[in-house]
């Protein structure tokens, strides 16, 4: 697409192990408050979740929207504001990015371009819903994980004056079923804001199934990456109900995990197990006094190592484990 310049949109394909053509998932990411962090984003950020869908017979295209990671163009983050027009502009650009990715992969020999779903997390959930409102005929459904748009200035007035009206617009233009998944303890989109967005979407005519979900981790907003055991049965049920592939074709899949010695702090041991399930490029750092930190899904392994050390709160922290692409 011209808006992404000569570089284009970085898109990584995760393929099923079975032969033939497969339906397509367009999957896209969230956004950080920091522009530099967004530029350091790598497609490995969503790789474990993409593999989950590939195991169910989907080709997954992990789409890095314009301006993020290695993709060209100006990122949607530049349109920050609390008025409806700002969110409408973001929605249009995000939908255009996903449409460009769809056009690029729909005719690949592994892809059945007549059957597509869109999935996004956080700002990517908003992007997936925007794509649903500009859907090609092949789109069958949208799955929104913790979706919305958030800034450091976000407040109730911002939601009501800008974000909620745009969800109303998206609902009015959406003709496919959608699944909304939000943890009760989401620290960016509290239940009262989610209810406003959901009501606006459905009152306008959008179909949005939103099951009740309890707490997920410490902050709730990372439901997609941290709590597959919570969302997996909900997604499987949604896919099955809409006659879309949902059964695990490789139930024995799963790599080995390494446990830290019992002498290590419990929170560090839990974090290390969680870190192992995240996508590359990733690194785990520990300090001499029980400090720990990790980074994952960065553009390069060096960025992941530097970020893990920076977060570790002690200059004596060291990288003890890493995994790169």
Half-sphere exposure of 307 (CA within 13 A, CB side): 20
Position 282 scores a pLDDT of 93
Express each pLDDT in 165-192 by its tens digit: 999 999 999 999 999 999 999 998 889 9
**Do the beta carbons of residue 42 and residue 301 sit within 8 Å?**
no
The least confident of 94-98, 248-252, 253-257 is 253-257
Please check the confidence at residue 79 and state whether its pLDDT lies above 50.
yes
pTM attached to this predicted model: 0.85
Position 156 scores a pLDDT of 59
Q: Strand order of the sheet with strand 282-286?
A: 292-295, 282-286, 318-323
pLDDT band at 77 (very low <50, low <70, confident <90, very high): low
**Do the beta carbons of residue 82 and residue 76 sit within 8 Å?**
no
Task: Identify the CA nearest to 180 among candidates 162, 207, 151.
Answer: 207
The C-alpha atoms of residue 181 and residue 167 are separated, in whole angstroms, by 15
Please check the confidence at residue 108 and state whether its pLDDT lies above 90.
yes
Please check the confidence at residue 6 and state whether its pLDDT lies above 60.
yes
Position 160 scores a pLDDT of 72
Mean pLDDT score of the chain = 91
pLDDT band at 99 (very low <50, low <70, confident <90, very high): very high
- How far does the chain reach from its first CA to its final CA, in angstroms? 27
The listed range with the strongest mean pLDDT (10-14, 36-40, 112-116, 224-228) is 112-116
Express each pLDDT in 312-324 by its tens digit: 989 999 999 998 6
Characterize 244-271 residue by residue with b for buried, 16 or more Cβ atoms within 10 angstroms of its Cβ, and e for exposed: bbbeeeeeeeeeeeeebeeeeeeebbeb
Please check the confidence at residue 288 and state whether its pLDDT lies above 90.
yes
Average pLDDT of 103-122? 97
Position 152 scores a pLDDT of 47
């Amino acid at each position: 697409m011209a808006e992404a310049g000569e570089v284009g949109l970085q898109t990584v394909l995760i393929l099923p192990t079975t032969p033939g053509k497969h339906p397509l998932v367009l999957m896209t990411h969230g956004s950080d408050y920091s522009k530099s962090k967004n530029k350091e984003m790598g497609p490995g950020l969503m790789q474990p979740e993409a593999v989950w869908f590939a195991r169910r017979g989907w080709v997954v295209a992990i789409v890095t929207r314009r301006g993020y990671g290695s993709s060209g163009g100006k990122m949607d983050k530049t349109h920050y504001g609390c008025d409806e027009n700002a969110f409408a502009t973001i929605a249009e650009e995000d939908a255009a990015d996903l449409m460009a990715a769809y056009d690029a992969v729909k005719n690949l020999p592994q892809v059945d371009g007549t059957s597509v779903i869109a999935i996004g997390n956080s700002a990517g959930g908003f992007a997936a819903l925007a794509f649903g409102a500009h859907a090609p005929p092949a789109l069958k459904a949208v799955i929104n994980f913790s979706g919305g748009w958030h800034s450091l200035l976000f407040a109730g007035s911002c939601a009501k004056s800008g974000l909620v009206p745009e969800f109303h617009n998206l609902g009015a233009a959406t003709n496919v079923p959608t699944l909304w998944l939000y943890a009760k303890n989401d620290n960016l989109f509290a239940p009262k804001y989610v209810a406003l967005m959901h009501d606006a979407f459905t009152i306008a005519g959008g179909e949005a199934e939103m099951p009740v979900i309890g707490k997920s981790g410490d902050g709730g907003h990372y439901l997609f990456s941290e709590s597959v055991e919570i969302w997996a049965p909900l997604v499987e049920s949604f896919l099955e109900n809409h006659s879309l592939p949902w059964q695990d074709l490789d139930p024995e899949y799963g790599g080995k995990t390494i446990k830290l010695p019992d002498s290590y702090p419990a929170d560090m041991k839990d974090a290390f197990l969680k870190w192992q399930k995240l996508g590359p490029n990733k690194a785990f750092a520990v300090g001499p006094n029980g400090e720990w930190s990790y980074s994952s899904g960065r553009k390069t392994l060096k960025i992941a190592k530097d970020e893990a050390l920076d977060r570790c709160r002690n200059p004596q922290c060291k990288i003890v484990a890493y995994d790169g692409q």
